[in-house]
A and B are shown apart, each in its own frame.
Chain A
Amino acid sequence: MNPITHKPKSLVDISTHYCPGCGHSVVHRLIGEVIDELGIQNRTVIVAPVGCAVFADKYFDCDSIQGPHGRGPAIATGIKRAKPDSIVFSYQGDGDLASIGMAEIIHAAARGEKITVIFINNAIYGMTGGQMAPTTLVGQPATTCPKGRNPDLQGYPINVSEMLSQLKSPKYIERVSVDSAPNVIKAKKAIKKAFQNQVDNVGFSFVEVLSICPTNWGVEPIKALDFLREKMMPQYPLGVFKDEGKTQEGK
């Protein structure tokens, strides 16, 4: 009897620091599998964010740099322009990308930098203790809005994928989820296409991944999945928002 599942070679074989059920680890594994399949491990550079994934550089067996809060796309721009042969991806959460890093991501997308951005959206600040993020849903409680987000005071959540798809330069924008096995497989296809675009020098690729944060939502992981499906998905519909790549690999 032989194993039919194998740990990705581009991931370091250690346990992660993420909470039980966290979607970050699933996305790490998917990225690791994609790097293995494309054979790009020795020219990949990860730009780790500030947030729960701040130690992401410890888990990927490739070159890495850890950027200041929200500045991942700016750092990735510099690396990609200095070394165009490298495969550079910025891995960011919603507190990192959608609040303090909003300027960086919009301008990197508007310039059409040939980088890949993986955006983990769990509708809350994770590492800092469950504060309201720009992506927090209306009515969703957080430590800085214990009665739930009130649109009169805090406005409405930002749909980053829809917003970036209004720009002309980005080539590929998709929103996926890691709540179930079929959706994880779709998420892997999206991530693979985002990396394949960079290998083929197509242009800016952006994948938003809806993920659960059981610890800061205050629920068990399996109940968090229900929250993601029932509350998050209506606000953040899955789908391809832009696909102007030349390749159809991974789709």
Chain B
Amino acid sequence: MPKIEVDEMRCKGCKLCTKACPKQCIEMSDTFSKTGYYPAKLAKQDCCIGCAMCYTVCPDLAITVYK
């Protein structure tokens, strides 16, 4: 199954990816990252379709999409 990985050192918690995801797979973590933001995370396994919309809108190159 496709999946995404979020680099917590880069993610600034802007939530743009949660809006861009057509399947609403992404939500924000409830714990701080080392950089002081709530980073994004893949909420559900087997949800991601590997469309890379989140990567396209991510301002911080924090998301890597695997397929």
List residues of A whose CB falls within 8 A of some B CB.
1-5, 7, 11, 15-16, 18-26, 29, 178, 180-181, 184-185, 214, 220-222, 225
List residues of B whose CB falls within 8 A of some A CB.
2-3, 9-10, 12-16, 18-20, 35, 37, 50, 52-53, 55-61, 63-67
Given contacts A4-B50, A4-B65, A4-B67, contact A23 B19 (CB under 8 A): no
Given contacts A20-B14, A20-B37, contact A2 B66 (CB under 8 A): yes
B64-A20 in contact (CB<8A): no
New A-B contacts (20) at CB < 8 Å, excluding given A21-B59, A29-B59, A178-B57:
A1-B67, A5-B52, A5-B55, A5-B64, A5-B65, A7-B61, A11-B61, A15-B9, A18-B59, A20-B13, A21-B12, A21-B16, A23-B59, A25-B61, A26-B59, A181-B53, A181-B56, A185-B56, A221-B15, A222-B18
Closest to B52 in A: A5
B63-A221 in contact (CB<8A): no
B59-A225 in contact (CB<8A): no
A225-B16 in contact (CB<8A): yes
Give bound CA distance, A1 to B15, whole Å: 26
Among B2, B12, B56, B66, residue most surrounded by chain A Cβ atoms (within 10 Å): B56
Given contacts A181-B53, A184-B56, contact A5 B63 (CB under 8 A): yes
Among A4, A22, A181, A225, residue most surrounded by chain B Cβ atoms (within 10 Å): A181
Closest to A21 in B: B14
- List B contacts of A20 (CB < 8 A): 12-14, 37, 59
- List A contacts of B16 (CB < 8 A): 21, 221-222, 225
Closest to A7 in B: B61
- List A contacts of B56 (CB < 8 A): 181, 184-185
A184 CB to closest chain B CB (Å) equals 5
Closest to A14 in B: B10
Given contacts A20-B13, A222-B16, A225-B16, contact A1 B57 (CB under 8 A): no
B20-A181 in contact (CB<8A): yes
Give bound CA distance, A180 to B19, whole Å: 9
B39 CB to closest chain A CB (Å) equals 11
Given contacts A1-B3, A4-B67, A180-B20, contact A15 B53 (CB under 8 A): no
Which of A4, A16, A180 contacts B60, CB < 8 Å? Answer: A16
B41 CB to closest chain A CB (Å) equals 16
- List A contacts of B55 (CB < 8 A): 5
Which of A7, A25, A181 contacts B59, CB < 8 Å? Answer: A25
A221 CB to closest chain B CB (Å) equals 4
- List B contacts of A181 (CB < 8 A): 20, 53, 56-57
B21 CB to closest chain A CB (Å) equals 10
Give bound CA distance, A29 to B15, whole Å: 18
